Homo-oligomer: A and B are copies of this chain.
């Protein structure tokens, strides 16, 4: 299924400032970038680099002048969506057998204080039969217990806050889910994306858990179709997977994000409820 994704960010830059943008659709086995364009207006020298696993791409630029500038990304992406059959997942990989680059996703991070949630997570979720059931239960718990209210939180909000205050946006939902997974020793990582039919339009955030040797996708907000999410990047949490990381002082004056289907036959596949027959991916 082909999607057209688009993002445009505008900034006023009063003092020298370095930006690291992470707007490119990722290149993974689940999605192919067919064509893409990134433009900076006015034209400004920038540097591109990739994540260690080569999937995600970053654009770095250092603005020394007092200017207003605009960065625009546009791409056509072919998404190969496969529903996961939980029955077909491999048995759990013990911590003993995890690779070093997976183990890092077991550790607490800035916005996911899993070390503080161990008792709660063990009591609520650890009795479940297998890792898929545990993560699914975490996903449903957040969907059922946290209220989605735009603008209710800010960039300092973490899983610890969300667990108490029970309100947030996609970013907060993802952070709490990741913290709960790690608290019962299931690796989990943050996931930024373009998403079909997100309203109001914005970047989306969800998470992946490492189950049976593979990263399995979940979205506790249930706001968008599971087959309409184009990955941008993964990270421990929003601290290292922001769409824009800024060193300096600046004002963002406009953000436009779009994600449209290019396929007339596209049927969005929503997972609205907790029906046990409705599984993820």
Contact = CB atoms under 8 A, between A and B. Distances in A.
A103 B156 contact: no
A254 interface: no
Interface stretch (A163-171, A188-196, A198-206): A163-171
B95 A247 contact: yes
A247 B102 CA distance: 14
A110 B183 CA distance: 14
Contacts of A61: 96
B52 A165 contact: no
A96 B155 contact: no
Given A108-B239, A185-B247, A247-B185, A163 B164 contact: yes
A94 B163 contact: no
A161 B123 CA distance: 17
A123 to B, nearest CB: 7
Contacts of A95: 18, 60, 62, 247
A43 interface: no
A84 interface: no
B18 A116 contact: no
A109 interface: yes
Chain A at the B interface: mostly helix, strand, loop or mixed?
mixed
Interface string A37-76: 0000000000101011000000011100000000000000
Given A18-B95, A103-B20, A109-B239, A116 B60 contact: no
A52 to B, nearest CB: 7
A106 interface: yes
Contacts of A106: 247
A110 B116 CA distance: 11
Contact of A96 (B18, B96, B109, B145): B18
Interface of A: 18, 20, 47, 49, 51-52, 60-62, 94-96, 100, 103-104, 106-110, 112-113, 115-117, 119-120, 123, 145, 147, 155-156, 160, 163-167, 185, 239-240, 245, 247
